[in-house]
């Protein structure tokens, strides 16, 4: 149907051009086909990356959403807070806790000196 | 401004790429003729016209319907023709330099050879076809001939034809349709014979 209409359109344009005496002396029969094949070639090249990019963006967004959801569900605060105030004044600090780092620990990465051997 | 091509262009923009062939078939002769005015060679004119149609297709989304589509296409064809002339002049300059240095213009020889290989059977003999149509037009009944003259040669609108001929628009349209059909059939037969 489309081809028949195209043929009719082409014939009508020929008739008009001939009557007005405004026509080229020669015309390739494949003139329109050549342009269309070039257009079809170029459009498939441009459409393909478009879909590829869309797919990439969509998969990246999906991955981000899933990761966020998983992170949120794993780090959810499960601590249940007491409704009443807890009073515990007898908190005794541990005796072994000191602010000074252990002497041996401090010397761990240093050269072994005669006095640090004693630590072991 | 009403553009006859608006629907076709919208279809193309919306993805119906094949509809662009309607545009090509409609304007190919006018665009090739326009390019010929610049290139002075039909082979080059066809090449430039092809480039113009392709450029028009590529930038169709930029067309805002502020002017007639043909005016826009016309401008593109002129720009392509001017670019072609400039590039041809540059090639000529390069060839002259090469010849002065004793080199042959191999590239230009290749192009010419490729163009010359196209068989004459792959082209329409427009002069012969035009002669057929001129003869067929001459023997049309006078009432049909008048419609063709007013509408297709003098580019009058239907309103203007109605005023001139004092005929109802329906009669004008049906007579024009009959006349065009006769001419198109003659042309179709001639093309098949060739």
**CATH no. for residue B143?**
1.10.10.10
Q: What is the mean pLDDT of residues B161-184?
A: 95
Work out how many domains chain B is built from and give that number.
Answer: 2
Question: How high is the mean pLDDT of chain A?
Answer: 77
Question: Considering just the CA atoms, what is the radius of gyration of chain A in Å?
Answer: 42
Local confidence band at A95 (pLDDT 50, 70, 90 cut-offs) = low
pLDDT of residue A5: 86
- Residue B1 belongs to some domain of the structure: no
Of the candidates B35, B74, B55, B29, the residue with the CA atom closest to the CA atom of residue A31:
B29
Is B137 an 8 Å CB contact of chain A? yes
Please state the ipTM of this predicted complex.
0.82
Residues B45 and B14 in one domain: yes
Task: Calculate what percentage of chain B has a pLDDT beyond 90.
Answer: 67
Closest CB to B57 among A5, A19, A39: A39
Does B50 sit within 8 Å of A35, measured CB to CB?
yes
CA distances, B107 to each of B43, B94, B103, B127 (Å): 17, 11, 11, 32
Identify the domain containing residue B153 by its residue range: 126-193
Instruction: Tell which wins on pLDDT, B173 or A75.
Output: B173
B29-68 as b/e, with b when 16 or more CB fall inside 10 Å? Answer: bbbbbbbbebbeebbbbbbbbbbbbbbbbeebeebeeeee
What is the distance between the alpha carbons of residues B91 and B93, in angstroms, rounded to a whole number?
A: 5
Residue with the bigger pLDDT between A102 and A2: it is A2
Residues A13, B21: C-beta atoms closer than 8 Å = no
CATH number of the domain where residue B26 is located:
1.10.1740.10
Instruction: Give the range among A15-24, A56-65, B86-95 with minimum mean pLDDT.
Output: B86-95
Q: Residue B144: which pLDDT band, with cuts at 50, 70 and 90?
A: very high
Q: What is the pLDDT of residue A16?
A: 94
Nearest residue in chain B measured CA to CA from A18: B130
Cα distance from A74 to chain B (closest Cα, Å)?
A: 46
Instruction: Note whether B66 and B147 are same-domain residues.
Output: no
DSSP A26: E
User: What H or E segment, with its residue span, contains residue B123?
Assistant: strand B123-125
Q: Which residue has the higher pLDDT, B99 or A40?
A: A40
CB-CB neighbors (< 8 A) of B50 in chain A: 31, 34-35, 38
- Establish how many alpha carbons lie within 13 A of residue B172's alpha carbon, considering only the half-sphere containing its beta carbon: 19
The pLDDT value recorded for residue A50 is: 72
pLDDT band at B109 (very low <50, low <70, confident <90, very high): very low
Which residue in chain B has the smallest CA separation from A36? B21
Q: Do B23 and B111 have their domain in common?
A: yes
Is residue A20 pLDDT above 50, yes or no? yes
Tokens coding B98: 């090469």
Residue of B nearest to A21 (CA): B130
| B44 and B83 co-located in one domain | yes
Query: B126 touching A, CB under 8 A?
Result: yes
Same domain, B75 and B150: no
pTM equals: 0.68
Question: HSE of B163 in the Cβ direction (CA atoms, 13 Å)?
Answer: 5
Contacts of residue B18 in chain A, CB cutoff 8 Å? Answer: 2, 36
Q: Same domain, yes or no, for B115 and B154? A: no
pLDDT band at residue A55 under the 50/70/90 scheme: confident
Burial tier of A34 (Cβ tally within 10 Å: 0-12, 13-18, 19+): middle
Phi, then psi, of A78 in degrees rounded to 5: -90, 5
């Amino acid at each position: 149907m489309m081809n028949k209409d195209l043929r009719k359109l082409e014939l009508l344009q020929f008739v008009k051009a001939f009557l007005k005496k405004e026509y080229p002396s020669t015309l390739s029969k494949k003139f329109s086909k050549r342009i269309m094949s070039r257009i079809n070639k170029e459009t498939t090249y441009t459409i393909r990356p478009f879909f590829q990019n869309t797919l990439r963006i969509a998969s990246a967004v999906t991955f981000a959403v899933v990761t966020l959801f998983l992170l949120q569900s794993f780090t959810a605060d499960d601590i249940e807070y007491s409704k009443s105030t807890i009073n515990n004044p007898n908190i005794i600090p541990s005796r072994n806790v000191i602010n000074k780092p252990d002497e041996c620990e401090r010397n761990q990465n240093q050269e072994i000196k005669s006095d640090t051997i004693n630590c072991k | 401004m009403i553009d006859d091509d608006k629907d076709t262009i919208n279809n193309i923009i919306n993805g119906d790429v094949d509809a662009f062939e309607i545009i090509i078939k409609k304007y190919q002769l006018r665009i090739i003729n326009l390019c010929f005015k610049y290139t002075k060679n039909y082979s080059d004119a066809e090449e430039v016209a092809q480039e113009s149609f392709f450029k028009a297709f590529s930038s169709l989304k930029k067309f805002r319907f502020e002017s007639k589509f043909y005016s826009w296409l016309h401008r593109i064809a002129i720009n392509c023709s001017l670019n072609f002339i400039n590039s041809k002049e540059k090639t000529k300059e390069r060839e002259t330099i090469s010849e002065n240095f004793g080199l042959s213009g191999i590239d230009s020889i290749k192009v010419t050879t490729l163009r010359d290989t196209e068989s004459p059977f792959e082209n329409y003999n427009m002069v012969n076809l035009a002669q057929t149509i001129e003869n067929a037009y001459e023997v049309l009944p006078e009432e049909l001939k008048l419609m063709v003259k007013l509408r297709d040669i003098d580019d009058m609108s239907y309103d203007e034809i109605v005023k001139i001929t004092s005929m109802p628009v329906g009669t004008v349209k049906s007579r024009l349709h009959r006349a065009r059909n006769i001419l198109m059939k003659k042309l179709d037969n001639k093309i098949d014979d060739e």
